[in-house]
Chains A and B, each alone.
Chain A
Amino acid sequence: MTTQLIYDGSFEGLLTSIFEVYERKLLQVKIGREKFYLPDFHNAFLKIETDITKAERVWNGLVKKISTHKCTEVYKTFLSEQKDVEDILLSFTRHAFSSCLNIEGDYGHPAVLAVAQIAKKVHREKHRMEAFVRFQRTKDDLYFSFIEPDFNVLPLIASHFKDRYADQHWIIYDKRRNYGIHYNNESGKILEVQAEAPLSHKPLLPSSICHDEEEVYQTLWKDYFQSVNIVSRKNVKLHLRHVPTRYWKYLVEKQ
């Protein structure tokens, strides 16, 4: 019989679940997020309470078994929010703990390969967001941008933007997951924020709340974008591969 573990959707919650798998010596097990749980009468059901101490024990165990780089990949894999990602990570952790070698190069193992491939996808999305964020400057000098990434990459891009715009007050808001990160240049800290009222469906801010020069710089950027194109080398296929249409609505130059 398979045991179904349900956790709250946090990374710590997942690590706690993995801890419980060992603690209770479960062999056949599936881990799933509470949000997506559908009762199933054939299987046993167990709700996991997130416990930081237990989570840390699993994490520290992983840190001893694999490189820091691979640990980051494990976290990235989790952020993909893909279906069955919990089971892949459980299988990966089991493989790592059961071997006396560092198994991260064992690409012949399905979970090791899956972690590498999913982490790569998430990393690509992170890199895309570092490129595709378009800040709009508001009247009170806040730089604001909406994004709608395929994966939950805000935790991964925060430090990049903090280092780059250290003297600037900014917010990047993930519309799909309805939360954002807010950097205050005076305190030098990043905080998570959540909109209280429902957001407008428009991808850009209305010009009424924008800084006087905002529109001008958007126009100049569009001019620039048009001018650097070489018509006789037109290659739409390549263009679309680099900038898939789903990102267009937030890109000033594609309006």
Chain B
Amino acid sequence: MWERMEEKLQILADAAKYDVSCSSSGSKRSNDTKGLGNTTGVGICHSYTEDGRCVSLLKILLTNFCIYDCLYCVSRKSNDIKRAAFTVEEVVSLTINFYRRNYIEGLFLSSGIFKNSDYTMERLVRVAKNLRVQHNFNGYIHLKTIPGCSNELLREAALYADRLSVNIELPSEGSLKLLAPEKSRTDIIKPMSFLSTRIKAQADEKKLIRRTPAFAPAGQSTQMVVGASPENDFQIMSLADTLYKKFSLKRVYYSAYIPISHDIRLPALGTPVPIIRENRLYQADWLLRFYKFSLHEIIDPLHPHLDLDIDPKIAWALRNLDQFPIDINKGDYEMIIRIPGIGIGSAQKIVRARRFRKLGWDDLKRMGIVLSRAKHFLICNRMSFKPNDVSVEILRDKLLAQSKFATALSPQLTLFS
């Protein structure tokens, strides 16, 4: 019996790993009933795989049988692979037993689509309900929304799950038609829009009535595959920006396409995974969400690709050298966070510390600011900076030499040797 269980787990974990969402934060579920599990809003990464990605949730598919034939997906109907399916009880007992040993923060359950959307979604909801109701489980649950399922099921899912997500998959309708012919943009957007309206309504209600049932308290997220289709970074980032603004998504994940099949419509097997591009997209995403940059400051239709050599914050600073240097002892917080080498944490420290005394280079260094980068863009009380002395090109080269991808980007070495 256990051998079969092992095999199923291998197959269904392997098939789920291309979904990159790993977050277990943003939800509070306190263990008032002395049951199992407690979620405080802070996520925990319990382990890290050799590719450096975190393992926070038990991320599995209920089944990898699928009636769809999306080209970029390993579980597509036409792919000749081993298939397996868990029962509801199996998923529940795996989750409970892993959780009790402190291996995981909770469950991330997705599924291939078998029979139809409602049938599949109903089973996902049943797992979540079983965990919450029968096992008094307060750990984190992330459920995948199956495109095309009924609103009634969505509502029920949101009552038991912390987070729901439906993947955009490809950044444009055209690519979706080409690579995932059975899926449509409307089917994906509809549940997202329904949930976002309900989550907002619930939040408003909570202002009036204190005890309202939790409704997907960790919100929604989505994922886009990058590099499987020809969209440029501008298209990808504009879509992400719209999703954040329109549906208040908590996260948009970007997944560098890993070639898994032979098909002329897709990059050939062995094509390098665009890891650096993926990294730059995440950096741009962070600038949008935490550094108060607007989309057009990061990227525009005339320059539709993010610079692979330098990160988007440096790129912005180099395009806007006239706005620098910033006086660290006087500048606004909004400008200090825009200095390359200074993050949110350091910026807050600077703003608090300068009320007590003027800050010099040594203070900044001790606070942990990356001076090798930041020194080109700021002045403090002792040394001054003359931006006119330095041309953009020289500055760019200096900064480029410090890049974490310096070896990968160097022309002397092949990228994935």
Q: Which residues of A contact B (CB under 8 A)?
A: 101, 103, 105-109, 113, 116-117, 127, 130-137, 143, 145, 163-168, 185, 188, 213, 216-217, 219-221, 223-239, 241-243, 251-253
Contacts and interface: CB of A to CB of B under 8 A. Distances in A.
Interface in B200-242: none
B349 to A, nearest CB: 5
Contact of B31 (A164, A231, A239): A164
A234 B49 CA distance: 9
Given A230-B17, A242-B48, A105 B30 contact: no
B50 A221 contact: no
A165 B366 CA distance: 40
A235 B52 contact: yes
Contacts of B273: 232-233
B38 interface: yes
A236 B50 CA distance: 6
A238 B44 contact: no
7 contacts: A105-B349, A131-B47, A145-B102, A228-B53, A233-B273, A239-B50, A241-B52
Given A143-B101, A164-B38, A242-B54, A113 B14 contact: no
A188 to B, nearest CB: 8
Interface stretch (B5-13, B307-315, B391-399): B5-13
B103 interface: yes
B75 to A, nearest CB: 14
B49 A108 contact: no
- Output the residue of B16, B100, B101 with the most chain A CB within 10 A: B101
Interface of B: 2, 5-6, 9-10, 13-14, 16-18, 30-31, 34-38, 40, 44-55, 58-59, 94, 97-98, 100-103, 136, 256, 258, 273, 275, 349, 352-353, 355-357, 359, 363, 366-368
A163 B38 contact: yes
A224 B59 CA distance: 9
Nearest to B22: A228
7 A-B pairs with the lowest CB-CB distances in the bound complex, closest first: A238-B52, A105-B352, A107-B353, A227-B13, A233-B51, A235-B52, A242-B48
Among the interface residues A127, A164, A226, A242, which one has the most CB atoms of the partner chain B within 10 A?
A: A164
A227 B100 contact: no
Contacts, number: 155
B357 A167 contact: no
Contact of B100 (A132, A143, A226): A143
Nearest to B138: A164
A103 B51 contact: no
A127 B100 contact: no
Contacts of B30: 163
Contacts of B18: 230
B49 A228 contact: yes
A166 B34 contact: yes
Contacts of B49: 225, 228-230, 239
Contacts of A231: 51
Contact of B353 (A105, A213, A220, A233): A105
Contacts of A227: 9-10, 13-14, 17
A241 B38 CA distance: 28
Contacts of A103: 356
Contacts of B31: 163-164, 166
A135 B97 CA distance: 10
A131 B45 contact: yes
A233 to B, nearest CB: 4
Nearest to B35: A167
Given A224-B9, A224-B13, A233-B275, A243 B48 contact: yes
Given A134-B101, A225-B49, 15 more contacts: A105-B353, A107-B352, A163-B38, A163-B40, A166-B38, A217-B101, A228-B49, A230-B258, A233-B51, A234-B50, A235-B52, A236-B50, A242-B45, A242-B52, A253-B47
A171 to B, nearest CB: 13
Contacts of B359: 108
Given A132-B46, A133-B102, A232-B273, A106 B35 contact: no
B165 to A, nearest CB: 17
A199 B197 CA distance: 57
Contacts of B355: 105
A222 B355 CA distance: 52
Nearest to B366: A113
Contacts of A109: 356
Contacts of A236: 50
Contacts of B366: 113
